[in-house]
Homo-oligomer: A and B are copies of this chain.
């Protein structure tokens, strides 16, 4: 999105004696975009190499392998989630404000660039077992963080009879799904989507009055 998206041969130099970190970042960014569009398994190393203006062998100067590349992207996405969503939310004392922070910030992140964050949830089976355990652990922590927030709301009496686990998963599903339908060039703009989803999420778990319909259909 920002730069060097498919620049053929920038030949950017570094005086540090180390591998150019910008070049590497560009490779990760492109790889994330292509993995996102075609899926990890359907993407070949050649696809990525071509997208960054390298041959396959040239690409291997920067990466250790396809699975390492995937893990790097997913770790980056998880870092993003930590820094942009979890940390800011952790600083919120009020549970409802914290919930709103989580939803709106996570939704915002997805409307900005969904590639890495979507790969994070869709390509887990492409990872090596150890890497997968690492990512799954961090994801579980995130869901538990949301569930704890819902439990805190329940303790305040703002939520009645909602299982925090089901609630947390449901909200996460709602948020993650945004990447499937939201298009930056579409009818809806990001601010509207973020606000609407946040409002729905809060409404889904909060009960303003005690009415809790207990007869589902059939």
Binding site for B on A (CB under 8 A): 37-39, 41-42, 96-97, 100-101, 104, 121-122, 125-126, 162-163, 165-167, 169-178, 180-181, 187-188, 192-209, 211-213, 216-217
A85 CB, nearest partner CB in chain B, Å: 12
Out of B42, B96, B173, B212, name the residue touching A178 (CB < 8 Å). Answer: B173
- Looking at chain A's contact residues, the main secondary structure is helix
A209 neighbours in B (Cβ, 8 Å): 208-209
Out of B162, B170, B211, name the residue touching A174 (CB < 8 Å). Answer: B170
Contact at A173–B180, with CB atoms within 8 Å? yes
- A169-B177, A176-B177 in contact; A217/B39 too (CB < 8 A)? no
Closest-by-CB residue of B relative to A181 is B169
Docked Cα-Cα span, A117 to B106, in Å, equals: 26
A122 CB, nearest partner CB in chain B, Å: 7
Contact at B203–A207, with CB atoms within 8 Å? yes
Contact at B170–A217, with CB atoms within 8 Å? no
